[in-house]
Amino acid sequence: MKKLIFNAPLNHKAYSYEPMQIEVEKIIPLYGKRFEQMKNHPLDDCLEIIENRELMYMEGNTAHCILFLDANGRDGILVEAEGAGYARKSQFIPNARAIIDQSEFTYGECQLHAELKAMADCIAELAHTGQQKFNFDDMLGDGDMKAIMIQALAEMLDRRDDLAEVRDHYLGIEDQADFTVTAKPTQEMKLYCPLEIQAEPQYDENEDFDYDDYEVIPSSCACGCEDEINAAIKKYSEPEEEYRGLMIYYNEDSPVNEKTVGRLKQR
């Protein structure tokens, strides 16, 4: 058996593990060192908890919580702050990302997983009788695995935000489309921001360098230098800035890096 390895806290001489019903109102990824800070210091005030504490409350035996997810890992921390600014009630959730992924499985995906598991069990049982070679088509049996796969794929496509319509009309007829997909129109996003242009003064070799001596060029004049400015930005930009303008100068752990979609044009 393959070793099962995960992170989890162990309580010393725990007297019970009586659970309560949990409803996750929101999933918030924590970037950089934020997750480690919450994990190591759960009683410290936390901006993400303060901004979302109205979502966390008790209702009978149901706890309405927020799941803070390690953006760079797989674990999570479940929090019910009861109006406080820190994790007043919390629980470390090992492999929380897998739980999220499992909850997002469609009916077709669950059915496909069940079929594959049944096939694996059957092959393992036959292997113990001495059989060593197996043909996948033979293992399909009477079930229509293709129909299950098409249903699962159509359900996954239907949940995408970039698609307008998905129709599954599989009938098992050769040369006939199994489903149709209509994409939403794509949009190009442009970001414009103020750009201050400064001219570097001419210095003699013995003069001291001073940023205060830089001369600010009015925007009306800078507009006439658009080609030169864009050429300079392109020349000195980093490779990863090609489709993100100057966004690389944000902190690399910023969620901006994860959420920016579309091509950003420098202006």
| Residues 179, 123 share a domain | yes
Residues 42 and 85 in one domain: yes
3-state SS, residue 172: coil
Q: Are residues 177 and 198 in the same domain?
A: no
Quick one: pLDDT at residue 27? 92
Structural domain contains residue 10? no
User: Which of the pair, 36 or 113, is modelled with greater confidence?
Assistant: 36
State whether 191 and 266 are in the same domain.
yes
Average pLDDT over residues 137-163: 79
Q: Which residues contact 115 (CB under 8 A, 6 or more apart)?
A: 143, 145, 148
Q: End-to-end CA distance of the chain, in Å?
A: 58
Give a yes or no: residue 4 inside a domain.
Answer: no
Percentage of the chain with pLDDT > 70? 81
Q: What is the band of 131 on the pLDDT scale with cuts at 50, 70, 90? A: confident
Q: How many domains does the chain have?
A: 3
Average pLDDT score over residue span 2-28: 83
Whether residues 96 and 127 share a domain: the answer is no
Q: Does the pLDDT value for residue 9 go beyond 70?
A: yes
Per-residue model confidence (pLDDT) at position 249: 45
Tokens of 64: 């309405």
Q: Greater confidence, 95 or 214?
A: 95
Q: Does 193 share its domain with 164?
A: no
Q: Are residues 156 and 195 in the same domain?
A: no
- What is the per-residue DSSP string for 73-95? SS-EEEEE-TT-SS-SEEEEETT
What does the pLDDT look like over 79-127, one tens digit per residue? Answer: 999 899 999 999 999 999 888 887 777 788 888 888 888 888 888 888 8
Q: β-pairing, 163-168 with 179-183?
A: antiparallel
Of residues 208 and 227, more confidence is placed in 227
* Residue 63, pLDDT score: 92
Compute and round to an integer the Cα radius of gyration of the chain: 28
pLDDT at res. 114: 82
The whole-number average pLDDT for the span 175-199 is 75
In this structure, is residue 217 part of a structural domain?
A: yes
162 shares a domain with 91: no
Q: Is residue 196 located within the same domain as residue 158?
A: no
pLDDT at position 93: 92
Domain end position, chosen among 58, 84, 102: 102
Q: What pLDDT was estimated at residue 261?
A: 43
What is the pLDDT, as a whole number, of residue 1? 60
| 179 and 191 assigned to the same domain | no
Mind giving me the DSSP string for 16-66?
Answer: -----EEEEEEEEEE-TTHHHHHHH-TTS--HHHHHHGGG-EEETTEEEEE
The reply to whether 86 falls in a domain is yes
Q: Are 263 and 229 in contact (CB under 8 A)?
A: no
More confident residue, 206 or 154: 154
Alpha helix ranges (H) inside the chain: 34-40, 47-52, 96-103, 107-127, 136-140, 145-158, 219-222, 226-236, 256-259
Percent of the chain at pLDDT > 90 equals 23
What does pLDDT average to over the chain? Answer: 79
Residue 175: pLDDT over 80:
no
Domain that residue 253 falls in? 187-203+211-267
Q: Per the domain annotation, does 3 fall within a domain?
A: no
Contacts 24+ apart (CB under 8 A), 190-197: 190/264, 190/265, 190/267, 191/245, 191/264, 191/265, 192/267, 195/222, 195/229, 197/221, 197/222, 197/225, 197/229
Mean pLDDT of 231-236: 77
Residues 31 and 93 in one domain: yes
By the 8 A CB rule, do 91 and 77 touch?
A: yes
pLDDT computed for residue 24 by the predictor: 92
